[in-house]
Amino acid sequence: MSRVAVVTGGARRIGAAIARQLHATGFDIALHYRSSQTDAERLRDELCALRAGSCELFAADLGDLAHVNALAQALVSQYPRIDLLVNNASGFEPTPIRGCTPEQFDQMLGANLRGPYFLIQGLLPALRDGASIVNLLDVHIERPLRDYNAYGAAKAGLASLTRSLALELGPAVRVNGVAPGAILWPEDEAAYDAETRKRTIAQTPLARLGEPSDIARTVAFLACEAPFITGQVIVVDGGRGLAS
């Protein structure tokens, strides 16, 4: 029987790269998306063309607790055992404290902390001995982005949850995090003008921007090749944090 990986926010960008990498490693993919249905269907068809029946789609708004609970129930019903959960889905928007509303604050916490928390809770019956959870975090937990305080607080909470659950769920389930640095998504190339690229690369010891595949390979490593690693956050930023 194939191993099963749940990837939230898996239709595009880093999530899609993670899904492809895990699929190539041999996982069947339960691909969650919120609104990117066309992208999700395209990726499902791509993966199933490589291995029939190896990817299923699940739609849910992880900021809505009722959706989270329904998603967990659907996943556990379809997959009695889940080997890997990748909490990749995220909300990201500025919330300057002088103007942030309770609704905006709740939205950031819902997407980035409450959703992953209760999804993990709902999937526990299927996350049994040898399973793994990987939470996608952010280097800006340690180096805050101006005006993104609610997002940063939520991701910091998810980092703390990562360590706490490593204690609580071990030895059956390992829990780790991956904190991406500057990642150049293909559709975002226009956002990096020549001067921004030059400045960012100059601040990075490995002298390039990251790519989604850098994150995907790190997730796959934690899932498949790190049986004695838990409660850790791996920063994937080309060393830029050392030079900041």
Range of the domain at 63: 4-231
Inside any domain, residue 112: yes
Q: Tell me how many domains the chain contains.
A: 1
What's the confidence (pLDDT) of residue 197? Answer: 76
Inside any domain, residue 89: yes
Inside any domain, residue 236: no
For residue 52, give the CATH number of its domain.
Answer: 3.40.50.720
What's the confidence (pLDDT) of residue 5? Answer: 99
Instruction: Give the CA distances from residue 40 to residues 56, 72, 89, 126, in Å, rounded to whole numbers and listed in that order.
Output: 9, 19, 13, 24
Would you call 151 a catalytic residue per the annotation? Answer: yes
AA letter at 13: R
> Residues 33, 79, 148, 151: which is the catalytic one?
151
Inside any domain, residue 152: yes
* Mean per-residue pLDDT pooled into runs of 10, the chain (244 residues): 95 97 99 98 99 98 97 98 98 94 96 98 97 96 90 97 99 98 64 75 82 97 98 90 74
Inside any domain, residue 244: no
Q: What's the predicted TM-score (pTM) here?
A: 0.94
d(CA 60, CA 69): 10
